[in-house]
Every structure is written in C-alpha cells, then in structure tokens.
Amino acid sequence: MTHNVSKDDIARAVAVLKDGELVAFPTETVYGLGADASNVEAVRKVYAAKGRPADHPLIVHVADAVQLANWAGEIPPAAHALAKKYWPGPLTLVLKRNARVPDEVTGGQDTVALRVPGHPVAQQLLRAFGGGIAAPSANRFGRVSATTAEHVREEFGDAVACVLDGGAADVGIESTIVDCSGAVPTLLRPGWITPQQLEAVLGVPLAVADAAAPRVSGTLEKHYAPRTPLMLVEGDLVVELARSLVRQGKRVAALVRTALRPLMDGLVWVAAPDDAAGFAHDLYANLRELDQAGCDVILVEQPPERAEWFAIRDRLNRATAGSGEDLD
C-alpha cells in the first residue's frame, strides 16, 4: 500500500487528537473521521462535522484485540474467534460496552462497535495515540463514503484540518459488522468478509439483522446515495435503455463492467472492473465521478449473484432505494 505519511505527520495527528480535534485517516475499507473516543467534546465534533444525528453510534478503532477489554464488557467466544481470524482487517464487532465508554460514542446503547483496522497508517496512528479513535466514514451524512484523501477534502473542505493521505483504500466499501452481543452472532452490515467466511469461523449460521436489531445508520434506506438518481439494470439492457433515454433528451451516465463503449452523444460511460474486488475498490470513486457528470440518471449494470458481490449489491440497492431526503 503506497502512502505519503511521515512520522511527523503521525505525531501531528496524535497532537490534534489529544487536543480534542478531528483527524481524517485511511483504513483499508474507507477513510474515517476520527476523534479521541474518550473525549466527549471531541466526539460531539464528529457528529457536527458530518451532520449526523447523535443517536447513530460510532465505531471505536483500536490498535489490537488486546485493547478490546478497555471498551467491551463481555467478550464472547464467537467474538474472540472472529477477531483472531480477521483482525487487523475489514471487520467490526458489536459487543456489550463497559461503563467507561461515553454515551456519545454508543448513541446511548448498551453495546459498542469495535474495529482493528489493518491499514499501515491507521495502525501507526492508533499505536502512537494509544487510545481508541471513534470514527465514522469520512463523508457527510447521506453521502458516498470517501476512499481517498481528496474525497475527504471534497466532503469537508477546511472543516477537518488534519487529513492523513494513505492513498486509495484497498477494499473500497465499509467493514462487515457482526453483532456478538446477543445469543446468536448477527450480521448487521455486509462487507468484504462474506457471511460464508464468517460462518466458517463461527461454525454456526449467522442471523441477519431484523427490525429489533440495534440501530445501524448504514442500513437505513437511501444510504450511500449519489445525488443523481441511480437505476440498476441487467447488463444486456444497459445500452438499449441508455439509447432510448438519450433519444428522449436525457443525459445518461452508465457504470458497466465492459470496456465496449457504445458511440452515443449525451452518454457518460465508466467502465468498472469485472471482478468483485476491483469493482468494490473503485465503486465510490466511480459513483462520485458519475454524480459529478451532471446527468439525469446513472444506470448501473446489475452485479452478479455470487457471494463475493453480496456487499456490493447491498450498497447499490441502498443507493437506488427510496427517494426524497437523504437520511445518512
């Protein structure tokens, strides 16, 4: 992973965190907007900067699993097993909180979300800081997550003074979230680590979140949405539909997994990788680019049904769902 972060940059970021200010930093999933998780005032600044309601809890990032005990109350065997296999990595565990975790971090719930990111810059930052960093994805509420430092600056401008540039995030979509606080491990948000991989570690089927599950803002409808309306279309119909929309005078953007660009005025065409890892890596950058093209509609080729596309389908379905106000 290439990055441009020096020891001095890390030292400065640590000073900023200790000062109760915000630091945007890379993880292997997406960029985070971080605050000292034990500093209530600092955590409030995260909500203010994002424009996110205070009852949407944040993930606490820590350097290693040893630090779980500083935040979690109980650590059940399922959580130990998942942490051992997938940390550092794109996995978040929801556990019973302990009494020291501020309500501002948990949205007042009796659980806390914890993650050990693997990105070398996140690791350096967490080790140098020593404590937990509460961080949501570094995007404004309701917008597409940021996968580069430039995207973070697009979202926040000067409002976030310290942005560590760790290059483009490897995975490109947010972490898999598993709630281990109840009787049965429950998938709250799909991510690059698939339910099948989790079940292989757990040895039992995963439950899937229902309405009674703790609130996950990322699962509200109309999340991860670009401003331009987005439609999922079967691959063989994209060109036909684009043609007919263009004929009606519409400006059309398309995100497709083939390099064969049809010749058509009024069409913005972005060729996405045909493999799930590549597609996820580029997804949010592509959605930003397509959104900025100022079209009337974005057509996205429907991804395959296979397991490794599960989280991508989830994000795209949310981006197309509902209408009206942005929720997250």
Per CB under 6 A, residues contacting ligand TXA are 27, 29-30, 32, 56-59, 92, 94, 106, 109, 111-113, 115, 135-137, 174-175, 177, 188, 214-218
**Any idea of the CA torsion for 126, 4, 120, 10, to the nearest 10 degrees?**
-20
- How would you list the strands of the sheet with 267-271, edge to edge? 230-233, 297-301, 252-256, 267-271
Question: What are the phi and psi torsion angles at 181 (to 5°)?
Answer: -90, -10
216 neighbors 189 (Cβ within 8 angstroms): yes
Q: If you count DSSP H runs as helices and E runs as strands, how many of each does the chain have, helices first?
A: 10, 14
Cα–Cα distance between 290 and 224 in angstroms, integer? Answer: 14
Which partner, Mg ion, ligand TXA, none, binds residue 56 by CB below 5 to 8 Å per kind?
Answer: ligand TXA
Cβ distance to ligand TXA smaller for residue 215 or 243 = 215
Binding partner of 132, given ligand TXA, Mg ion, none, CB within 5-8 angstroms per partner class: none
Residue 194 binds which entry of ligand TXA, Mg ion, none, with Cβ cut-offs from 5 to 8 Å by kind? none
Minimum distance, C-beta of residue 287 to Mg ion, in the bound complex (Å) = 14
Contact indicator for 199, 310 with CB cutoff of 8 Å: no
Give min distance, CB of 236 to ligand TXA, in A: 33
Min dist. Cβ of residue 136 to Mg ion (A): 5
Q: Residue 175 touches which of ligand TXA, Mg ion, none (CB < 5 to 8 A by kind)? A: ligand TXA
Tell the smallest beta-carbon distance from residue 105 to ligand TXA (Å): 8
Compute the least distance from the CB of residue 248 to ligand TXA, in Å.
Answer: 37
Nearer to Mg ion, 137 or 175 (CB): 137
Q: Which of residues 132-151 bind Mg ion (CB under 5 A)?
A: 137
CB under 5 to 8 A by kind: which of ligand TXA, Mg ion, none does 94 bind? ligand TXA
Closer of 98 and 302 to ligand TXA (Cβ): 98
Q: Would you give the distance in Å from CA 11 to the centre of its chain?
A: 26
Q: Where are the alpha helices (DSSP H) in the chain?
A: 7-18, 40-50, 77-86, 103-106, 120-129, 149-156, 195-202, 238-247, 276-292, 310-320
* Number of residues engaging Mg ion in binding (CB under 5 A): 1
**Beta carbon of residue 274, minimum distance to ligand TXA (angstroms, whole number):** 24
Beta bridge partners of residue 318, listed in sequence order = none
Q: Which residue has the tokens 């592509």?
A: 286
Interacting residue ranges for Mg ion, rule: CB under 5 A: 137
